[in-house]
Amino acid sequence: MSRELKPEEIRSLFDTSKLSYKTTAELSPLDEIIGQARALKALDFGLEIDKLGFNIYAAGHPGTGKTTTVKAYLEQSALSKSPPNDWCYIHNFKNRSEPHAIELPQGQASIFKKGMSDLIENVRKVLPEAFQSEDYANRYQVALKSAEEQRGSLISEVNQIAVKKGFVVQRSQSGLLVVPTLEGRPMEPQDIASLSPEKLQKINKDREDLEGHLRNTMRQLREIEAKAKTALDELNRKVALFAIEHHILFLKQKFSEIPKVVEYIECVQDDILASLDAFMPNSNDSETSPEILLAIEQYFRTYEGNILVDAEENAGAPVVTEYNPTYINLFGQAEKEAKYGVLSTDFTMIRPGSLHKANGGYLMIPVQELLAAPLAYDRLKRALKNGEITIEDTGESSGVISARSLRPEPVKLKVKVVLIGDSEIYETLYTTDPDFKELFKVKAHFDTAMDRNDENINKYVAAITTVCNKEQLKHLTGKAIGKVIEYSARLVEDQRKISTKFAEVVDVVREASFYAEKDGAKHITHAHIDKAIEEKIYRSNIIQEKIQEMIARGITLIDVKSEKIGQVNGLAVISYG
């Protein structure tokens, strides 16, 4: 049953006589989070459970401290977790467009990259020295001499047969030719034209016989050339391997417990031995253009590896907040550069995203920005379901014509994702997206109000003290505290509650501190709090005043007296801040 309220019932004043202190300067700062027991319990559960799909959605109104609270909780939890491993991308010698991903123990990525860099530097130094040595020159000449002797023997043999038949063997650009002779010299065209038909027929028959020998000789020469090339290649390989083997073995022993690294070092060794010319100095280096020199250096850098994640300095699990969760910012990309009018890329241009940086730890994302970014939300769900981070070209994945890009090997993913948003978005996703309820099974709901009791009020004031100390604001007197508590109850529209929209309350304190400084006051008084609240309202209530003026002037008619049949009075409450 409705009744008319007494004046003292309309507003609940705070009794400042209950306070045991005169100003907030006498209080100790509060480190804990107040008024959010339900949300904190959900966060504890969500951070402790290590199962697929138990990611967290932190829901609540703006100003309730969601982001600050969640970040503090994540950072605290991260300290008790092991640091993540490092990740590198390395060259794929079989398919350069699909670079391999390597996981290394914490802090080993930079050591691996430095080791590979030192290896290539040493190889570029020792290989030219090995091939310029006197020992190599002697062995090379022996191999060449053997082949030359065999070639000379074959040519001499076929030439003797040719001489007996009245021919001579001559070299040409197309190979060996047999030419008839006259009195010990090769016949000229006019000599051949003057021959009798019988003599010409005999010469042609002898030539056909000799060309059969010649073809057989040519085949044997090609075999000798092939064997000589094989012998020289084997010599070069042995000399090069002898020169670089101890450098290779040293690096393999250093990473002997990481099979994928050992395998890669062996591939590097094979590639070096197959590309010896690239390591030989050019006699015209001084005349080489800067572009070519840069290309040479880039070629050698492909052996080193590209560090994607270096967790060397991490004391615990990483905590990453991505405020702009676009697809590229989350998943990274393979950058491209223009060379001679063509876009090109390689594995050294792969850049990590927030998922890579947060891998093995926690990633906090504002859900509204995530949903607004094309592809980002769908790809994030796929990454969480598959447990891997795949870097794709957005143009290719969406069917748009794009320059040829890389397809890097996916990186294994183990991360706890925390979405920050309001309850409306949560309800929409929960009811319309089947994947959402499977991937974000923990809801941490931040309340807008807490009970107005002595314990909570003391914590509330201690929290204000923390802000004053941190931001160097002036401290509040007892009466100013009372005004803040009353304002907080007004925000939540309940005399038995106080608001947990701490951001709005603290904004009033900040503004009151500004007015206290202007007045030269030592502390914030109740007058400064009143002024801050009044000024805040005044800056936003021009529409309210216009409406009240229209009512007062009779432009808008409001009838609240007596009764009328069939008439319903409407009430609209509109907030403009």
Q: What is the pLDDT along the chain (577 residues), one digit of tens a residue?
A: 677 877 777 778 888 888 888 999 998 988 778 888 899 999 999 999 999 999 999 999 888 888 988 998 899 999 999 999 999 999 999 998 999 999 999 999 999 999 999 999 999 999 988 888 888 888 878 877 777 777 777 777 767 766 666 776 766 666 666 666 666 667 766 666 666 677 776 767 767 766 677 677 777 777 778 887 888 888 888 888 999 999 999 999 999 999 999 999 999 999 999 888 888 876 555 556 676 777 777 788 888 889 999 988 888 999 999 999 999 999 999 988 777 667 778 898 999 999 999 999 999 999 999 999 999 999 999 999 999 999 988 766 555 555 567 899 999 999 999 999 999 999 999 999 999 999 999 999 999 999 999 999 999 999 999 999 999 999 999 999 999 999 999 999 899 999 999 889 999 999 999 999 999 999 999 999 999 999 999 998 888 889 889 988 888 877 777 777 877 767 676 665 5
Task: For residue 403, give both structure tokens.
Answer: 């320059």
pLDDT at 478: 93
- Which of 415, 445, 475 is the endpoint of a domain? 445
If asked whether residues 249 and 325 sit together in one domain, one would say no
Q: In b/e form, how buried is each residue of 330-340, taking b as 16+ CB within 10 angstroms? A: bbbbbebeeee
pLDDT at 155: 72
If asked whether residues 398 and 505 sit together in one domain, one would say no
If asked whether residues 329 and 424 sit together in one domain, one would say yes
Q: Is 107 within the bounds of a domain? A: no
If asked whether residues 415 and 456 sit together in one domain, one would say no
359 near 81, Cβ under 8 Å?
no
Query: What is the secondary structure of 506-522 as a DSSP string?
Result: HHHHHHHHHHHHHHT-S
Task: For residue 101, give both structure tokens.
Answer: 């991903």
If asked whether residues 249 and 165 sit together in one domain, one would say yes
Pick from 319, 307, 242, 312: nearest CA to 273: 242
Q: Is 112 within the bounds of a domain? A: no
Q: Is 287 within the bounds of a domain? A: no
Residue whose entry in the numeric block shows the structure tokens 């085949």: 219
Cα–Cα distances in angstroms (integers) from residue 508 to residues 337, 451, 474, 480, 496, in the given order: 51, 21, 12, 11, 21
If asked whether residues 474 and 494 sit together in one domain, one would say yes
Q: Is 554 within the bounds of a domain? A: yes
If asked whether residues 440 and 509 sit together in one domain, one would say no
For the chain, what is the domain count? Answer: 3
If asked whether residues 454 and 421 sit together in one domain, one would say no
If asked whether residues 440 and 453 sit together in one domain, one would say no
Q: Is 366 within the bounds of a domain? A: yes
Query: What is the secondary structure of 248-267 as a DSSP string?
Result: HHHHHHHTTT-HHHHHHHHH
Helices 526-538 and 502-519: angle between axes, nearest 10 degrees: 110
If asked whether residues 456 and 515 sit together in one domain, one would say yes
If asked whether residues 441 and 453 sit together in one domain, one would say no
Q: What CATH number is attached to the domain comprising 454?
A: 1.10.8.60
- Give the C-alpha separation, 222 to 236, whole Å: 21
Q: How would you classify the pairing of strands 411-412 and 388-389?
A: antiparallel
If asked whether residues 455 and 333 sit together in one domain, one would say no
Structural domain boundaries enclosing 320: 78-84+314-445
Q: How many CA atoms lie within 13 A of 538 on its CB side?
A: 6
31 near 433, Cβ under 8 Å?
no
- Which of 418, 445, 472 is the endpoint of a domain? 445
445 near 57, Cβ under 8 Å?
no
Q: Is 429 within the bounds of a domain? A: yes
3-state secondary structure of 327: helix
Q: What CATH number is attached to the domain comprising 355?
A: 3.40.50.300
Q: Is 53 within the bounds of a domain? A: no
- Which of 235, 269, 303 is the endpoint of a domain? 269
Q: Is 460 within the bounds of a domain? A: yes
Q: How would you classify the pairing of strands 185-186 and 175-182?
A: antiparallel
Residue whose entry in the numeric block shows the structure tokens 């040479």: 296
